[in-house]
């Protein structure tokens, strides 16, 4: 079995974090998931209250697998029920290697007449390496009695090391794999599978069945679970199995590891419904949404009209208006946005987002209001006409001076003509420069007006989108983010990320079979 050590974990804090995540996700997470998670967290809470100084090892299996014989072989006592005709285990039985386990056995609901304390037996001193061990013999999981299966289902999440005992005839039983093993993905380091009744098999048959069992475990998503081959009745392989148990007890971390695994499994169950890729902050997406609505409202055309008329001083009469998108366009844009937001969400969250978002009618009304209250910068630019008239006057005056200078040079002293022509050239140059400056000033003012209108229009459109779509949806996405962050923190703090598969999910594809890691 794989051993690992880890720094101390704030189990109480982790349990609280998961309970908070479940409470926040109550309206959105599947009821069955919440039920399973709450049940496991309550059991963990109770176990923490009792301490983690005991190592609980449970033997689970079906009718006739030899589970009780394995219990007796490990304990060295003839205590558990062993029958000849259809052997069954009807009640939970325990063997404790420490007489201080009474409170824990009460919590596990082991009947008093089904308890034995190994440290009171004659050879108890020889069993010190198992001090702290509580060995449980569970009722048969495939029993026809409903209360037997109820006991198994209740105890399984609580144990620190789970040993599944199977036999050569029923190791491939569909109920075992679909109803139990596939639901325990993530607990591989706290599990063993024991193939019992090896005395009935040849060496070749042992190898064949072990290989097929390995294939089935891989198909269940439990490819890392170790397999042991034993004969509980004749003792073959039992010493190796006891060595595994002794190793778990000696590590003094099995209970903590089991808690790690179970907490990580619960976190994985929850995080499977809060996947990555979900928009956590709608703010950065607003610009793209405004772009889409601006196109539908004809913002670019209005902006171009404002810029063109202002530049050429034709901004007179009725100003252009921003037209709100048609109702059908608004509905299409709204549905496209919802599809983008909800596509990575699981159904509970996705449905809540769709229900919370405002309707197309609400959004259209908000857009109409935004367009109606939009102020369009319109009319002549102050000083623009004066600058143009001044520039034209200078050009005209310069032309007059140039013409006069030429006449003077023909009919009067040349010097006076040259002076007049030069002055005229200066005036024309000044006028042309003034005309150029006026034009540049008009272009600048036109761009400023158009850009200011665009900014105000985008702000108004964005406010409508935020109020109708973003604001109602944001709290749901925030809860999704909080749950995701909490579960990832739990998975990180317990030093593993478990690819948990929900009970209703399809089993993983069967990988290539490999031989067991160790067989006896």
Look up the pTM and report it: 0.60
394 membership: H or E segment, kind and range: helix 384-411
Tell me which of 225-234, 358-367, 482-491 is least confident. 482-491
In this structure, of 94-108, 354-368, 374-388, the range with the lowest mean pLDDT score is: 374-388
**So what's the pLDDT on residue 381?**
67
Instruction: Identify the band that residue 8 occupies on the pLDDT scale cut at 50, 70 and 90.
Output: low
C-alpha 240/C-alpha 246 separation (Å) is 10
User: What mean pLDDT do residues 358-377 have?
Assistant: 89
Per-residue pLDDT reduced to its tens digit, 425-460: 888 888 788 777 767 777 778 888 888 889 999 999
pLDDT at 206: 92
Checking if the pLDDT of 7 tops 50, the result is no
154-182 CB burial, b ≥16 within 10 A, e <16: ebbbbbbbbbbbbbbeebebeebbeebbb
Confidence of residue 19 (pLDDT cuts 50, 70, 90): very high
What does the DSSP 8-state code read for residue 358?
P
CA distance 117 to 124: 9
Mean pLDDT across 35-64: 84
Round to whole Å and give the CA distance between 20 and 37: 12
Average pLDDT over residues 478-495: 84
Domain boundaries, the chain: 53-256, 283-492
Of 5, 167, 4, 157, nearest to 70 (Cα)?
167
Query: Which has the higher per-residue pLDDT, 302 or 502?
Result: 302
Pick the CATH number of 53-256 from 3.40.50.970, 3.40.50.1370, 3.40.50.300, 3.20.20.60: 3.40.50.300
pLDDT digits (tens, 9 = 90+) for 263-318: 888 998 899 999 989 998 999 999 999 999 999 999 999 898 888 887 777 766 67
What pLDDT is stored for residue 447 in this prediction? Answer: 84
Dist. CA 102–CA 515, nearest whole Å: 41
Q: Provide the pLDDT for residue 3.
A: 43
Residue range 181-221, pLDDT digits in tens: 888 888 787 889 999 999 999 999 999 999 999 999 999 99
- Given this model, what pLDDT does residue 428 score? 80
Predicted local distance difference test score (pLDDT) of residue 119: 63
Distances, alpha carbon 493 to alpha carbons 27, 30, 54, in Å: 27, 25, 23
């Amino acid at each position: 079995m794989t051993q690992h050590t880890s720094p101390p974990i704030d189990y109480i804090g982790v349990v609280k974090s998961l309970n908070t995540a479940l409470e926040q996700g109550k309206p959105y997470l599947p009821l069955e998931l919440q039920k399973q998670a709450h049940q496991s967290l309550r059991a963990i809470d109770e176990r923490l209250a009792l301490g983690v100084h005991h190592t609980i090892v449970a033997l689970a299996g079906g009718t006739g697998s030899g589970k009780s014989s394995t219990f007796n072989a490990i304990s060295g006592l003839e205590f558990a029920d062993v029958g000849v005709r259809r052997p069954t285990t009807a009640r939970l039985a325990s063997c404790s290697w420490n007489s201080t386990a009474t409170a824990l056995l009460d919590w596990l609901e082991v009947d008093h007449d089904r308890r034995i304390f190994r440290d009171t037996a004659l050879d108890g001193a020889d069993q010190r390496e198992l001090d702290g061990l509580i060995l449980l013999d569970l009722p048969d999981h495939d029993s026809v009695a409903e209360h037997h299966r109820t006991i198994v289902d209740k105890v399984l999440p609580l144990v620190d090391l789970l040993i599944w005992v199977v036999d050569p005839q029923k190791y491939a039983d569909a109920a075992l794999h679909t109803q139990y093993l596939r639901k325990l993905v993530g607990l591989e380091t706290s599990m063993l599978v024991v193939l019992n009744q090896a005395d009935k098999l040849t060496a070749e048959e042992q190898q064949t069945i072990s290989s097929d069992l390995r294939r089935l475990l891989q198909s269940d998503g439990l490819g890392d679970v170790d397999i042991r081959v034993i004969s509980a009745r004749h003792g073959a392989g039992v010493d190796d199995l006891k060595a595994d148990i002794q190793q778990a007890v000696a590590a003094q971390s099995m209970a903590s590891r089991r808690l790690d695994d179970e907490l990580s499994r619960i976190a994985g169950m929850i995080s499977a419904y809060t996947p990555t890729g979900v928009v956590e902050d709608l703010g950065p997406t607003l610009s793209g949404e405004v772009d889409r609505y601006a196109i539908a409202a004809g913002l670019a055309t209005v902006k171009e009209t404002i810029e063109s008329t202002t530049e050429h001083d034709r901004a007179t009469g009725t100003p252009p208006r921003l037209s709100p998108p048609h109702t059908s366009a608004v509905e299409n844009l709204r549905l496209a946005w919802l599809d983008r937001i909800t596509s990575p969400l699981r159904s509970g969250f996705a449905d809540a987002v769709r229900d919370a978002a405002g309707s197309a009618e609400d959004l259209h009304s908000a857009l109409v209001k935004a367009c109606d209250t939009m102020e369009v910068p319109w009319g002549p630019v102050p000083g623009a006409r004066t600058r143009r008239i001044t520039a034209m006057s200078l050009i005209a005056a310069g032309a007059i001076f140039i013409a006069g200078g030429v006449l003077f040079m023909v009919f009067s002293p040349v010097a006076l003509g040259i002076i007049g022509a030069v002055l005229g050239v200066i005036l024309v140059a000044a006028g042309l420069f003034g005309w150029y400056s006026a034009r540049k000033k008009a272009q600048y003012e036109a761009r400023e007006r158009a850009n200011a209108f665009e900014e105000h229009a985008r702000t108004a459109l964005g406010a409508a989108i935020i109020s109708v779509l973003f604001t109602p949806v944001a709290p749901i996405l925030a809860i999704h983010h909080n749950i995701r962050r909490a579960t990832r923190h739990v998975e990180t703090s317990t030093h593993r990320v478990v690819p948990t598969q929900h009970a209703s999910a399809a089993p993983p594809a069967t990988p290539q079979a490999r031989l067991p890691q160790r067989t006896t």
